[in-house]
Structure 1
C-alpha cells in the first residue's frame, strides 16, 4: 500500500504556499515531503516536525531560532534553508530539494568505499561543517543519514541545528542523550556538551565507517556503545582492514581522540589534513578486500606516518625458473641453419623495432589537452587539490571582496570553466575575501568640508547634516557621526554628521551692569561695555552685539551698551526721601525685594509672587537657576513692582 495515499498532508496546500506532492522519507523527528512553492514556482523539500515536538513551545522557539541561523549559511555543500513557518499543528522547514540518495543508502548498496573515494565524499562534508563552525554553528548529529549525494555528483549536508532544537523539548529533560549514539563524542555522552570538536569526532567515525563498511563500536544496547565511546580508544581502519593506507589511520586517530583538546580545532582544520591525505594517496587505491566480522580490536593510536613512496620496484623471477612462452622468450635462441637468412631477418626486425619505438615515443611526447573544471563556489583548498589532480599548475590569486560568496570560496578561475588548454597549464584561482567593509574614519573635530572629503576618500557618502548646541566643541566642527567612528560598514554607505552649533548668545538687555558682567564671565564670554547718557535707569544694558540667540563660540566677546552709570540724581520711580520705608503720602506700601540670585527659577518666582511682586522670566543661558535680577535684592519697592529674572 502506498503510504503517501494515506498521509493527510499529501495534496494539501501548507501555509497557503507549499503544495505537498508526495512523501519522500519519514524519520524519528520529522517527515520530508516533495512540494511545489506556488509563490515562486519551484520544487522544494518540506520537512514537517512530528506533532509530539510541534506541541512543545520550547522546541518551537529553539527550532525557529536555529532555522534563522542555518538560513544564513551560504555554502555549496549545505542544503539551503529557504523558509520556516507553522500551519496549525505543523511546524516545518522549506529547504532546497536535492534529488539523489543519502550516504547511508550508498553504504547499504555498495558496502565500504576505496580510500580515495571515501575522502572524496568526506572533503565536501568537512567543507560544509567548516563553514558552519566559522559562523558559530554546530551540527551535533553528523552521520551518513544527514549527507545527501545528489544525482549530479554534489555532496550536501542537511539538518544543521535540529539536534540543538530537540534539546529544548520536555522530552529531553530527564537525561536522555540527543544524537546518534554510534557517532557521539565522549563529552556528548558524559555531559551533553558539544562544540566544533564534537562534529570533528563524528566525522572521524564516519570516515572509519566509509573505509571499513562498519562502525567501530557495536553492542547489544545503546548504553554499551556509549560506554565504549567514553572509555575506549577508537581503533584505526587498518586494525580491521589490513593494508588500509596509514594516512587514513592517522586521520581517524586524530579526529576521534577521546580528549577534545587533542583533536583538530574544527572541521576546517580536519579538511586541510584530509585534502593533503587525498593528494598523497596513490591514484589507484586497489581492489576492495572483504572486511572480517566480529568485534573490532582496539589498539594504540599511530602517530604521523611518512607518505608512501610514489614509485614501486618490480621484482622479476630468474629466467631459468620460467615456463611457457615467457620461458621461451627468456632462453637463448638456438642456432639457425642458413646463417645469412637468419642474420638478414634479424636486421630487418631490428629496424622495424627501432622505427616502432621511435613512432611510439613521438606519439607519447605530444601534449594532451585538458578542460578547466567547474570550481566556482568550491572551497579554495578543495578546488586547488581538484585542479592539481586534473593536471593544472595551480596559482592562488589575490582574494577579492564579494558581497555574496562566502569567504574562502572560489569566485572565478583564469582561464574560465570549460576552456580547453594543454596539460600542466597554469590555472589561477581567485577566492572571495567576503563582503568589503570599510571603517568610518575619525572626522570628529573637522569642519564639514574636511569631513566630507575624508569620508569620500574612504568610499563613504555624507547623508544628513544636523546641528547641536555645545559648550565644548567650536561652531561648525563635527561632534559625532552616525554610524559612529570606527564602525565597519559596506562601501558606499551613507554617514550622517552632527555639527556643533556652538552656543546661543544670551539675552542680557535690561540687566544691571555688574550682574551682566558676572553673568557673561561665568558663562565663559568676554563682556565689553560702552556707556550712553540717554537712559531712564543707570548702568543698565540697553543693547548688545551679537544679538540674543545668535550662534557664537565659548570665549566670544559680547559688546554691550549701557545707560550712563554716573548719574547721582537718578532714582527708582518709587524711591522717596532717600528710600524711607513705610507708607508714602500716596498710601503705597513699600517692601524689600528679596535676593533670589542662584535660586531655582520656579522657587524664586513663587517667593516673589507671594510678596505681591510681578515676575518676568527671561532666558539667558537656560540653566534653570537665577543668574541675574532686576531690581536687585535688598531694594525697596512698592507692592506690585515687576521683577525681571534671567536664568
Structure 2
C-alpha cells in the first residue's frame, strides 16, 4: 500500500498502526497539500456490503461535526475492494500509550482530559451522534496537550462485534457499557459510562474490570461493582470518586443526564476545593498546581510510647497555640463577608451579569458556546444559582455565554467537480444537496460546478444543504434538418454538411420500385425537424430496381387574344424537378403533348410563366384531358 494513491488524491506515505477493523496510514492529500490519516478497512469488513453501506452512512454523518476536540473526517471512499476513511492528521499519541508510560495521572490532569472529551461528546450528542466506542485508544493527545476524540465513523459497527471477535475487540470490551454488553442499543449515557471507565483508568493506571476472556470482562460490567478508585490511588478525593462511580452506574438512568451535566459536577467539585478549573486549555499551557497531599491512614497496632514529663509540657503548649490560632481564624471568618445567595443572571448581557455578581463580591469565569437562538453576549447558563445554598465571597461563578448561532461560511465551489465540492462542504460542516441541477454554461467545462446556492461567503447553520449546478458545457446551436428524399448518398452528405449536420455512416439498403438505386427513400430525423448542430441523420437508400417510366398526355388550350403564348410543363417525381416541355404557340391554339414521369409525380403547367394547372399524376391514367 505504501506509495499507492487512493481516489487519485490520497498518497499513502507510511503505516502508523492497525486495529481489529482497519489499518491506519499516514498520507498526503495531493489536492490540498496537507497531511492526513487514512484508515483502510480490513478485507473481511470491506467485502460485507451491508457493513460498508452503514459505515459510509455513519462516516458521512460524523463528517458534519466540527469541534476542536473531535478528529475531523474529510472523506470516505472506495477504490476497487478497498474501503477507506480520510481524517485529520493528529501529531501526537493516543491516551492508552500515555497511561502505559506514565501510569496513574495527577487528578487535575485526568480531569482536564475528561473535560475535553465531555465537550466533544456534548457536541456529538447534540447532533444525535453516539460514539459507542469510547476508550483511550480512540483519544489522541496532541503535543500541545489537546485531547481529540476519533473513530466515530466505525463506532456503530464495532459494537456489534465487541464480544464475539476476541482477537480484535479485546481493548474495547474493558470500556463497554452494561447495555452494550447485553446487546442492547447504545445511547449518550453509554458514552458517559465508557468515559467513566477511561477516567478511572487515568486516575488509577488500570481498568476497573479484568478477566481471562472478553466474555468474562463483559459479564463483570453487567454484574459487578467496580472497586472504588481511591483504594488503588489514595490521591483520588471522595468527590472525584463519586463522579467516576456515578458515571459507571449499571442503570443508564442513574448516570449523569448528559455530558454537560457530568462536566458541571466536575467543575462544582473543584470549585468546592477552592480550585478554578478552566476547560479545554492545552496541558502544556496550564500552570502547574500543587495538589493537597493526602495523608495515609496510620497503621493500627503501632506501639504507643509513654510521654515523659517534658513531653506533657510540650503538648500543653501546643494545645494552647492551636486554640489561639483557631480562635483567630474563627474571628477572621466571622468578620469576613457573609454568605450570599447567587441571583440568576440567565438571559442577561454579560457585562450586566458581571456587574451584578461583582456587587456581591463574587468572581466570574466565562465559558462561551454557540446557541441557535440566544444572541451573542448573553448568559445561557450558570453553574451556581439561587437554587443552590448561599456561598461566601469571593467564589468563582462560571457563566456560559452565547456566541450566537454557530454559523459556517459557505465555501466557493466554482469549477469544482462534485466530489471535490462534497469534501469542501464537509470540512465546513455543510452538506451537498441531494438534488444536483444541470444546465448549459458557455464558460465552465462539463461536469464542473458553475453556480451554487447559498452563494459563497454566506453564513449558514451547520448541516445546511448547498445546491450546486453542474455544467453541461456550452449550449449547442441548432439547425433544421433538410429534406433528403430522392437525393443520392453523396448529395445528402453535402446537403447535411451545409446545415452543420452529418450523415450516419450506418446506412440501410432496401429494394424499391419508387426510387432509383442510391436514392434516399427514408430519413431520420424527418425533414424540418430542429436538432442540435452536429447531429447525425440516418438514411435508408434504394437498391433498385427503381420505377418504371409512365407517360401522360397533356392538353393546354390558349386564349385567342391576338398574342403568342409560352407553354411550359414541369414534372416533379423521384428524379427531382424536370422541365418536360417548353414552346411558344399562336393565340387560340390548343397544345397537346405527351410527357414522361417516374413513380409518384406531380405535373405543373405554366402559360407565360403563370401556373395554370397543378395536380398529382395517378398510376394507370396516361392522359390529362381535364
Task: Please state which band the TM-score falls in when normalised by the shorter chain.
Answer: 0.3 to 0.5
Higher strand share: 2
TM-score, with normalisation over the residues of structure 1? Answer: 0.45
